Amino acid sequence: MRVLVVDLDRAWRGGQNQALLLLRGLRARGHAAELLSVRGAPLAARAQAAGVPVHVVPQSSRRWRAAWLLRGLVGEKRFDIVHANEAHALTAAWLGRAHRRVPLAAARRVAFPLSRGRFSLARYRAAACIVAVSHFVAQSVVESGLPASVVEVVHDGVEIPYPLSLESRLRARERWGVAGDAPLLGCVGYLLPEKGQEFLVRAMPAVRASLPSSRLLLVGDGLDRAKLERLADELGIREVVQFAGHVEDISDVYRALDAFVFPSLAEPLGSSLLAAMAWGLPVVALARGGVKEIVEDGRDGLLLEDAAPQSLAAAVVRLLTEHNFARGLGEAGRETIVARFSADRMVESTLAIFERLTATGAPG
C-alpha cells in the first residue's frame, strides 16, 4: 500500500510522535509510506533520519503550499490513501481536493469538540474515516454533528522499552542530580493551564512534609513555564522543582523516576502517561477525558476525581511509601500497555482501516 501521511505542525508533540511510529511501522511491514511536512519541523527531520521519504513545504502559507503539492502528488496516482495527522494537514488535503481522488483518513486527537462552522465541518465531512485517539474524542466528534459510522477509535501506542537495569537507572538519576534514594516525581508535557502542572507544584510542600528529600522533575516547555517558576519561588520549593525544558532523550527521564504524575484537566488520551506505564512506573492521574480508558483505579494506577493539591499529595505519598503496592501498580500498568497500547497495536489497527478504505476503491 502507498500511504502519504500529512502533518504540518511545526512543533514536536504526542501527535507527531504517533505519526513517526506509524510511518516506521508501515514501512517495516513492507508498505510505501511517505511524509508531507514543514521544512525544519522536528517530525520531518526524524522521519528523514529513519529513512522515510519526506516532501516539505515552507512554513509560510504552509496549508496552501501543501494543498498545491498534494494536488500534484495525488494527481500523479502516487498514493492509495492520504492520512491527515492534524487539523492543518486536513485543511490542506481538503483544499487540494485529495479526497476526490483517494480515500482520506483524518486523525482527531484533541479534547475539545469540532467547530460547528461550515468550513471546519466541511473538512471533516470530506474524510472517509475520522480516526479518534479515544472513545472520549470519538464521542465529541459525533456530538459535533458527524455520523458515528465514519468514526473509528485507534488508541495511541508507545514502544515497549526493555526492563530497566539498575545501572541505567543510576546513570539517569545522576543526570538529574538525584542523590541516593531521594524520591523523584515526574511529569512530562507542555506547560499549559489545562495540563494541570500548577496543582502538582502546589502539592509539593505537602509531599515534602512527609518526604523531605522528595523532588519534582517537570519536563517540557510552554506558556505556563514562567508562571510555574514564580509559583515554586513563592512556595519556597524552587530548589526541589527542576524545570528541564525539552528533553531529546526522554527515556532518561522515565528511567530516573520513582512515580509519574499526570494532572491533566482535559486529556484526549495521554501519550506521556502511556510511556510512563510502559516503563513500569506507578502513576497518578485525573479521571478525565480519555485517561479513564487507560487506567483502572487501584489496579494499574491511581485515579483522582479532582486536582486538589492535597489529594495529589496524598496519592503521591502513598506511592512513595507503600513500596509493594506501588510496584504492583507499575507491573500491572506495563502489562496494560503491552496488551492494549503498544505501537505495534496502533500500527496494525490503523493499517486495518487503510486496507478497508482502499478496498472499496472509492474516495471519501
Give, for 338, the enclosing helix (H) or strand (E). Answer: helix 323-340
Q: Which amino acid is at 254?
A: Y
Share of the chain above pLDDT 70, in %: 99
Number of C-beta neighbours around residue 231 at 10 A:
18
Q: What is the assigned CATH class of domain 166-340?
A: alpha beta
Q: How confident is the model at residue 114 (pLDDT cuts 50, 70, 90)?
A: confident
Q: Which of 264, 245, 240, 248 is nearest to 185 (CA)?
A: 240
> In the chain, what percentage of residues exceed pLDDT 90?
92
Task: Provide the sign of the torsion angle of the four alpha carbons 302, 305, 311, 313, taken in this order.
Answer: positive
Three-state DSSP at 304 gives strand
Q: 139: which residues sit within 8 A by CB, 6+ positions away?
A: none
> Tell me, what's the pLDDT at 273?
97
Distance in angstroms (rounded) separating the CA atoms of residues 228 and 191: 8
Higher pLDDT, 83 or 363: 83
Query: Which residues lie below 8 Å from residue 163, measured CB to CB, with a gap of 6+?
Result: 280
Is residue 364's pLDDT more than 90? no
Contact (CB, 8 A) for 171 and 350: no
Residue 105 has what pLDDT? 98
Q: Among 49-63, 110-124, 193-207, 305-319, which stretch is predicted with the lowest mean pLDDT?
A: 110-124
**Phi-psi domain of 5 (left: phi exceeds 0; alpha: psi -120 through 50; beta: other):** beta
Q: How far apart are CA 38 and CA 363, in angstroms?
A: 25
CA distances for 144 relative to 85, 104, 288, 314, angstroms:
19, 19, 19, 38
> CB neighbours of 10 closer than 8 A, spacing ≥ 6?
38, 40, 41, 59
Cα–chain-centroid distance for residue 241? 23
What are the DSSP calls for 353-364, one per residue? HHHHHHHHT---
Q: Of the ranges 104-118, 253-267, 284-298, which one carries the lowest mean pLDDT score? A: 104-118
- Which CA distances in Å does 85 have to 23, 195, 210, 217, 322? 11, 22, 44, 30, 41
> Which pLDDT score, from 0 to 100, does residue 157 have?
98
Domain 2-157+343-360 in CATH 3.20.10.10 = no
Residues 184 and 214 sit within 8 Å (Cβ to Cβ) = yes
Arithmetic mean of pLDDT, 30-37: 98
Q: Where are the domains positioned within the chain?
A: 2-157+343-360, 166-340
**101 vs 114 pLDDT, higher one:** 101
For residues 128-142, one letter each, b for 16 or more C-beta atoms within 10 angstroms of the residue's C-beta and e for the rest, the string is: bbbbbbbebbbebbb
Across the chain, mean pLDDT equals 95
Is there a common fold for 2-157+343-360 and 166-340? yes
The predicted structure's pLDDT at residue 146: 93
Indicate if the alpha-carbon torsion angle 60, 63, 68, 74 is positive or negative: positive
pLDDT over threshold 60, residue 362: no
Query: Residue 35: which H helix or E strand, with range?
Result: strand 32-38
User: How many angstroms separate the CA atoms of 133 and 154, rounded?
Assistant: 5
What digits encode the pLDDT tens for the residues 161-207?
998 899 999 999 999 999 889 999 999 999 999 999 999 999 999 99
Distance (Å, whole) CA 176 – CA 79: 46
Q: Does the pLDDT value for residue 131 go beyond 70?
A: yes
3-class state of residue 46 by DSSP: helix
Q: Model confidence over 269-294: pLDDT tens digits?
A: 999 999 999 999 999 999 999 999 99
Residue 130 is placed in which grid cell?
Answer: 475520522
Residues 54-112 have pLDDT tens digits of 999 999 999 999 999 999 999 888 899 999 999 999 999 999 999 999 999 999 999 88
More confident site: 364 or 183: 183
Q: What is the pLDDT of residue 118?
A: 77
Can you name the residues that pair with 284 across neighbouring β-strands? 261, 302
Question: In this predicted structure, what is the pLDDT of residue 361?
Answer: 64
